A and B are shown apart, each in its own frame.
Chain A
Amino acid sequence: MDVTITVNGKTRGADVPPETTLLTLLRSNLGLTGAKLGCDVGDCGACTVLVDGEPVNACLMLAAQADGREVLTIEGLSDFQKLSPLQEMFELFSSFQCGFCAPGMIISAKALLDKNPTPTVADVREALSGNLCRCTGYTKIIDAVMEVAARGGATAERA
């Protein structure tokens, strides 16, 4: 079946079997491998993307359900030269170690800051609770998000 989505501002489509997940569509058909396959059942959050502004586990959403909708992946937050404020802070704080959870984590953090530009530490913990990280203990991740908030929110990002 044909599925068409607007991903990172561009209209893209593919012909996929009906049981294809949004994650598979992004990774295998559209070459956007930023969202990761960590568990395939929505437990780890490594596949988090924004669908119409809401954070979603792409492994739990069928590609067909995303048809006609707007999807934002990590690749849409920046290009190699210019980082979004969240990514800039992740780099400065070394808020990642192996990097596997980072795309999903950053997307979830962006979703929080878009809705709540002045979160408390508890708000940040809550918003990131669906993104598992085994390397960092979450500490420097929370530092980075709080620093972005303190500097005035994630306003300089590309759509």
Chain B
Amino acid sequence: MKRRGRGIACMWYPIGFTVAANPSAALVKVNEDGTATVLTGTVETGQGALTVLGQIAAEELGVAADDVHVVSGDTDATPMDTGAIASRTTYVTGNAIQMAAAEAKKVLFEVAAPMLGVRPDQLEARDRKIQVIGFPQKYLPIGDVANHAQVVMGRPPLGSASYNPPTVAMDPETGQGKPFSTYVYAAQVAEVEVDDETGEVEVLRVVAAHDCGTPINPTLVEGQVEGGISMGIGLALQEEILFDEEGRQINPNLTNYIMPTSLDMPEIEVDIVKNYDPTGPFGAKGVGEPTSVPTAAAIANAIFDAVGVRIHSLPATSEKVLMALREKQGKQKQIPAE
């Protein structure tokens, strides 16, 4: 018989390296027509980092995503970066890029100010314009300013910066300290159906609410959550590297290492929790790793809700679930009637 259940799990996860310095450096160049090029030493591994980093630079310069080109991943041509790891890219590399763009923007403001008859601190960059705060009718197109800066004033608008999250070392005896600059939080609920005759668990639905600070690109955040949940399902129910007694892997291939296919994925609903972190670029934090953290627990809790067995070790294969069910039934038979 198939029984349904649901389980909830919440989590917290840090951004960046534990205490250790993990800086990122960035360079932003505004071209003669107001478009921009960003140089970053990070590497695009599929998460859309270059897109998000381009959006951050674009926001700072008041232009659109299409106006920014991101160059990455060459130790000769791009500045150092600690890497696409520990969910740090949006926050650490993003902060460096925002600061570098602000430096380049300073040059634009210094060049535009006399042209507009105001001080540089009266200017803002918005909608591809350098305009006067409080009197936006007075503006210059960013392309005009950038061209004037480089070609007439001889000051190419260039900015460079680096960022490292502020931490405090942990005491070796007690672990007390400030190991990370910021954390993200999330909760997931899993709805499952358990066949109490075979032990098979099917995940029907996963609902996820993730805090990532400001979502720079909501589509890419959703993509991370959906992908993370698929890894969480694999961890919960399917995946395992098995060894024989000589230390040889028994299943080093995709035939026998079971991981989620399109048939294993449930309906997924993603909510991005409203939050803003003032220490991150435009309030953003990160989301790459947290997404697969709560899923296995939510599924394990849902299994308990469905059939009353607590799985203590992952993966919760059908054999394990069935064995736990039989054990429970055995125990129930042994309890003498009151």
Contacts and interface: CB of A to CB of B under 8 A. Distances in A.
Interface of A: 39, 41, 43-44, 93-94, 96-100, 124-126, 128-142
Given A94-B48, A98-B45, A139 B219 contact: no
Interface string B221-257: 0110011111100000000000000000000011100
B263 A134 contact: no
Contact of A39 (B223, B226, B227, B254): B254
A132 to B, nearest CB: 6
B259 A132 contact: yes
- The 3 A-B residue pairs whose C-beta atoms are closest, nearest first, are A98-B46, A43-B254, A137-B230
B317 interface: no
A6 to B, nearest CB: 30
Interface residues of B, number: 24
Given A125-B262, A142-B262, A44 B227 contact: no
B220 interface: yes
Contacts of B268: 137, 139
B257 to A, nearest CB: 9
B261 interface: yes
30 contacts: A41-B253, A94-B219, A94-B220, A96-B46, A97-B46, A97-B47, A98-B45, A98-B46, A125-B262, A125-B263, A126-B262, A126-B263, A128-B262, A130-B261, A132-B254, A132-B261, A134-B231, A135-B46, A135-B47, A136-B227, A137-B226, A137-B227, A137-B229, A137-B230, A137-B260, A137-B265, A138-B262, A139-B222, A139-B268, A140-B223
A94 B227 CA distance: 12
Contacts of B259: 132, 134
Contacts of B253: 39, 41, 43
A131 B255 CA distance: 13
A2 B123 CA distance: 69
Interface of B: 45-48, 219-220, 222-223, 226-231, 253-255, 259-263, 265, 268
Contacts, number: 76
A131 B263 CA distance: 11
Contacts of A128: 261-262
A134 B107 CA distance: 44
Given A39-B253, A44-B254, A138-B261, 20 more contacts: A39-B254, A94-B48, A97-B47, A97-B227, A125-B263, A128-B262, A130-B261, A134-B227, A135-B46, A135-B227, A136-B223, A136-B227, A137-B227, A137-B230, A138-B260, A138-B265, A139-B265, A140-B222, A140-B226, A142-B262
A134 to B, nearest CB: 7
Nearest to A39: B254
B46 A129 contact: no
Contact of A99 (B46, B222, B262, B263): B46
Contacts of B254: 39, 41, 43-44, 132
Given A97-B48, A138-B262, A138-B265, A43 B227 contact: no
A100 B47 CA distance: 12
A117 B165 CA distance: 51
